[in-house]
Amino acid sequence: MQKPSDIAHEMLVRMYRQMSLLREFDRRSVRLQRAGRIGTYPPLEGQEACQVASTLALRAQDFVVPTYRDYGAMMVHGVPMENILMYWNGRSEGCEIPHDVNVFPIAVPIATQLPHAAGLAWAAKLKKEDQVALGFFGDGASSEGDFHEAMNFAGVFKLPVVFFCENNQYAISVPFARQTATETIAQKAAAYGVTGLRVPGWDAVAIYRAVRDAVSRAAEGGGPTLIEALTYRYGPHTTSDDPTKYRPAGEAEAWRERDALHLLSQSLRTFGLWDDELETALAKEIDETIRSAIAIMESLGPVNPLHLFDHVYASLPKYLQRQRDTLLSELSADAIRTSLPKEPSQ
Amino acid sequence: MREMTLIQAVNDGLRTALADDSRVILLGEDIGKNGGVFRATEGLCEEFGEDRVVDTPLAEAGIIGASVGLAANGLIPVPEIQFMGFIYSGFEQIVSHVARLRMRSRGRFTVPMVIRVPYGGRIRAPELHSDSTETFFAHTPGLTVVSPSNPYDAKGLLLAAVKSPDPVLFLEPMHIYRAFRQSVPDEAYTVPIGEARVVKEGRHVTVITWGAMVRDVMDAVPKLEAQRGIELEVIDLRTLAPWDEDTVFASVRKTGRAVIVHEAVTNLGLGAELSARIHEHCILDLEAPVARVGGLDVPVPLFQLEDLHAPTYTRIERAIDKVLEF
Ligand SMILES: Cc1ncc(C[n+]2csc(CCOP(=O)(O)OP(=O)(O)O)c2C)c(N)n1
C-alpha cells in the first residue's frame, strides 16, 4: 500500500488500535459465552475494518444505525464496552446509550433498521442540520423488502444517508448466491437513483475513503450512497451456530490470508508508524480496557426485576402499576418460600 | 414406535408428509443444508432434494407470499419462519391474503399451507426471539392456529395440518423442543384439529392452557392438589383458533371454576377471549369469575428477566386460590 496522503497518520493509527481492540474483545466475548458468563453472542471477527474504518469516517453528530453484529461500530461511535457486554448478558442496562452519543439500538429483525436510517437522515434534512446517518446491514438483509423501501425513500427524497453492506458471504447458512441473482449488492443502487460502489472489506483505508466521501457528498446535498464491502466472518453466525455444516473447509482460512488487521499492521510498519514496542503497549492497554469492562458487567449483581416495567411507557398506566405492585408482593412471597420445600421446576 | 423429543417429532412429521404426498414442499431460511436453526428439517434436503426442501432468500413476505401462489396453483407449501418475532414482515401476507383468499375468490382459490413457527420464551435467546403473539393470528378470521404440547401431538397435528383444506399456523413451543421424550408411532397418523385434550381429569378447578405451559401446569399440579386437597382438571387447548368450546364448556360446567394460563401477555391475550366466552356461556355454572395468568403486559425482556415475564408457579398458585376462595 502507498502511504495515503489524504488521511492523517493519527487516523491510520487510530483505526489500527480500534480494530485490534475489537478483535480481542470479540475473542474474549466468545470465551465468556462458552464459560456461561454471557448469553448467545454473534462474533464479528473478520469484519473489524468494515465497522471501524466506516465509523471513524463519521463526525460526532452523525448517526450509527447498527444490527446485532455492529456493536463494534457502536463502541467506536461512543457506546461503552460494558454496555455491549451487559446487552449480550441479557441485562436491560445494556440498552443504555449515552445522551450525547448518536447510536441507534441494536436491530435484531433483519433489515428493519434501514428505513430508520433513512428517517433519521430525512429529519436532519428537514431541520437543516448537518447530520448523516450510516446504516449497517448484511448481504442477507438485501433480500428483505425493508432494504428496498429504505433505498427508495433515500433516493426519492435525496437523503443524507449511507447504507453500508457488510457482505460477509453468508446469511447464517445461506450463501450470497441464494440472496440475489445480481453479481453485486452495489449495483442495486442504480435502480433507486442512489450512488453505489463496492470496496474490499479487508482494506481499511479504502473503506475509510469510501465512507468519508459518501458522508461529505451527503452533507453537501449530493444524496445517498450504498457501499458494499466484501468481507467474511471467520467464526460462526452466533455462538449457537456450526459453520462447518454449510461452509467448505479451508474457506475461512483462505480469507484470513488477506486479513484486514494484519494488512493494516504491515502497512503501518512500512510507513514507520508502528513497531513491536507499540504493539506490546497496545496489547496491554487492550487487556486492561476489556478486563475493566467485564469487571463492571460482573459487579452488577442480580438484575432488578422492576426493570421489566421501566421505559415501556413514558408513565406507567394504572393496570401496569398494579402488575408491578403484584410482582413486588410475589417476589417477597418467593423469598419466604425458599425456606419451604423446593418448587416444581419450570 | 420411537421415543422422540418434540423437535424430532416435527422432523419425523415433515419427513412423513414429504414421503406421502409429492405436492408437499418445504421452504424457508436455513432449512436446507443447515437443517434449520433448531434442526427441525435435519436430513430432509439430503433425502428429498433441493426442489422440495428449499433454502430461500431472507424474506418473510416473500416466503409466505410465494407460498400463497404455490398453494393456489396446486402445491402444499410448508413455510418455516425462523422465530415468531420475525414473522411480522410476512404478517401482511398472512392477514390480507393467506387467511382470505378462499373467501375473496368465492372458493375458486384456496391456500392449503402450514406455516411453522417456533414461539415462546425461556430459551435464553437474544432480544425479540421470544414472542408469543398467537393472538394476532387467532384474531384473524380464516386462519387455523394450532400448538402441540408434546411429541405425539406434534407429529399428529402437523400431519392433520398438512391435510387441512385451510391454511394452518403451526406454533412450536421452543421451550419444550428438547425437554422430554415420548413414544411416537413410525407411521402416519393425525391428531384432529379443533379438539382440545383433557390431560388430567379433576373435580374442582379447570385449568386451560397450551404449548409449553402445559408442562409447567402439570408440574405444579401435585403440589397444588396436595396442599389444598383439591383435584384439578387440566385442558390442553391444542387448537387455539377456532378452539374447542365443547370440551372447555363441559369441563367448566363440571368444576365451576376456570383458570387460563398462557405465556402471551395478559392484555388481550387468548385468555381474554376464552374468559369472555366462558362467562357468556357458563355463567350460571360458575362459582367464581374466571382467572387469567398470562405474561406481564410488557415486552418480553432480555433473557435475565424472561422467566419472570412468563407465568410463574406463584402466579398460577395465586390464580387457583383466587377462584377457590372467591
Ligand atoms: C426478519 C428476520 N428474519 C430472520 C431472522 C433470523 N436471522 C438472524 S441473522 C440472520 C442472517 C442475516 O444475514 P445477513 O443479513 O447477511 O447478516 P449477517 O448475519 O451475515 O451479519 C437470520 C436469518 C431475523 N433476525 N430477522
Ligand 1 centre to CA of B38 (Å) is 15
| pLDDT at residue A108 greater than cutoff 70 | yes
Q: Provide the b/e sequence for A206-233 (b: ≥16 CB within 10 Å).
A: bbbbbbbbbbebbbeeebbbbbbbbbbb
pLDDT tens digits, residue range B177-206?
A: 999 999 999 999 999 999 999 999 999 999
pLDDT tens digits, residue range B215-234?
A: 999 999 999 999 999 999 99
Determine the Cα–Cα distance for residues B198 and B203; give it in Å rounded to an integer.
13
Q: Half-sphere exposure of A233 toward its Cβ, with a 13 Å CA cutoff?
A: 30
Roughly what angle, to the nearest 10 degrees, separates helices A204-219 and A260-270? Answer: 90
Confidence class of residue A20 from pLDDT cuts 50, 70 and 90?
Answer: very high
**Average pLDDT of B277-287?**
98
Determine the Cα–Cα distance for residues B279 and A324; give it in Å rounded to an integer.
27
Q: Which residues contact B284 (CB under 8 A, 6 or more apart)?
A: none
Chain B contact for A87 (CB, 8 A cutoff): yes
The pLDDT assigned to A337 comes to: 61
The pLDDT assigned to A28 comes to: 98
Determine the Cα–Cα distance for residues B88 and B94; give it in Å rounded to an integer.
9
Residue B38: φ, ψ to 5°: -105, 5
A234 is catalytic: no
In chain A, where does DSSP find H-type helix?
9-34, 48-56, 71-76, 81-88, 114-126, 145-156, 204-219, 251-256, 260-270, 276-298, 318-337
B107: left (phi over 0), alpha (psi -120 to 50) or beta: left
**Average pLDDT of A113-142?**
98
Order of strands, sheet of B258-265, starting from the edge strand that comes earlier in the sequence: B197-200, B232-236, B205-209, B258-265, B291-295
Mutational pocket test of ligand 1: of A40, A50, A110, the residue with most ligand atoms within 8 Å of the beta carbon = A110
Confidence class of residue A244 from pLDDT cuts 50, 70 and 90?
Answer: very high
**Average pLDDT of A167-192?**
98
**Average pLDDT of B118-136?**
96
SS3 of residue B263 by DSSP: strand
Determine the Cα–Cα distance for residues A265 and B178; give it in Å rounded to an integer.
47
The pLDDT assigned to A344 comes to: 44
Confidence class of residue B279 from pLDDT cuts 50, 70 and 90?
Answer: very high
The pLDDT assigned to A338 comes to: 54
Cβ-based burial of B74 (10 A; exposed 0-12, middle 13-18, buried ≥19): exposed
- Cell 406434534, located at residue: B154
Determine the Cα–Cα distance for residues A164 and A238; give it in Å rounded to an integer.
21
Confidence class of residue A335 from pLDDT cuts 50, 70 and 90?
Answer: low
The pLDDT assigned to A345 comes to: 42
| pLDDT at residue B12 greater than cutoff 80 | yes
pLDDT tens digits, residue range B53-98?
A: 999 999 999 999 999 999 999 999 999 999 999 999 999 999 999 9
Q: Which DSSP symbol is given to B88?
A: G
Greatest alpha-carbon span in chain A: 73
The pLDDT assigned to A288 comes to: 98
**Average pLDDT of A65-72?**
98
**Average pLDDT of A144-169?**
98
Closest partner residue to B314 among A241, A319, A334, by Cβ? A334
A28 is catalytic: no
DSSP characters for B134-173? HHHHHTSTT-EEE--SSHHHHHHHHHHHHH-SS-EEEEEE
Out of A246, A262, A307, A337, the active site residue is A246
Closest partner residue to A344 among B57, B126, B313, by Cβ? B313
The pLDDT assigned to A336 comes to: 62
Among B225, B268, B228, residue whose Cα is nearest residue B138 = B268
Closest partner residue to B58 among A141, A312, A319, by Cβ? A141
Mean pLDDT of chain B: 98
Mean pLDDT of chain A: 96
- Residue B46 Cα to chain centre, angstroms: 28
Question: Cβ distance A264 to A15 under 8 Å?
Answer: yes
- Residue B303 Cα to chain centre, angstroms: 22
| pLDDT at residue A342 greater than cutoff 70 | no
Determine the Cα–Cα distance for residues A342 and B15; give it in Å rounded to an integer.
41
The pLDDT assigned to A270 comes to: 97
Among A233, A257, A256, residue whose Cα is nearest residue A246 = A233
Atom number of ligand 1 nearest to Cα A168: 20
The pLDDT assigned to A2 comes to: 83
Q: Half-sphere exposure of B135 toward its Cβ, with a 13 Å CA cutoff?
A: 18
The pLDDT assigned to B309 comes to: 97
**Average pLDDT of B282-299?**
98
pLDDT tens digits, residue range A289-302?
A: 999 999 999 999 99
Ligand 1 centre to CA of B9 (Å) is 26
ipTM over 0.85: yes
- Does residue A138's CB lie within 6 angstroms of at least one atom of ligand 1? yes
Cβ separation of A171 and B29 shorter than 8 Å?
Answer: yes
**Average pLDDT of B39-45?**
98
- Cell 387447548, located at residue: B237
Rounded to the nearest 5 degrees, what angle is found at the Cα of A203, between the Cα atoms of A189 and A151?
15
Question: Cβ distance B293 to B315 under 8 Å?
Answer: yes
Question: Cβ distance A267 to A204 under 8 Å?
Answer: no
**Average pLDDT of B225-244?**
98
pLDDT tens digits, residue range A213-234?
A: 999 999 999 999 999 999 999 9
- Does residue A231's CB lie within 6 angstroms of at least one atom of ligand 1? no
pTM equals 0.96
CA distance A144 to chain B (A): 5
pLDDT tens digits, residue range A5-18?
A: 999 999 999 999 99
The pLDDT assigned to A346 comes to: 37
Report A:151-180 residues touching B (Cβ under 8 A).
171-174, 178-180
Question: Cβ distance B243 to B196 under 8 Å?
Answer: yes
pLDDT tens digits, residue range A268-316?
A: 999 999 999 999 999 999 999 999 999 999 999 999 999 999 999 999 9
The pLDDT assigned to A333 comes to: 76
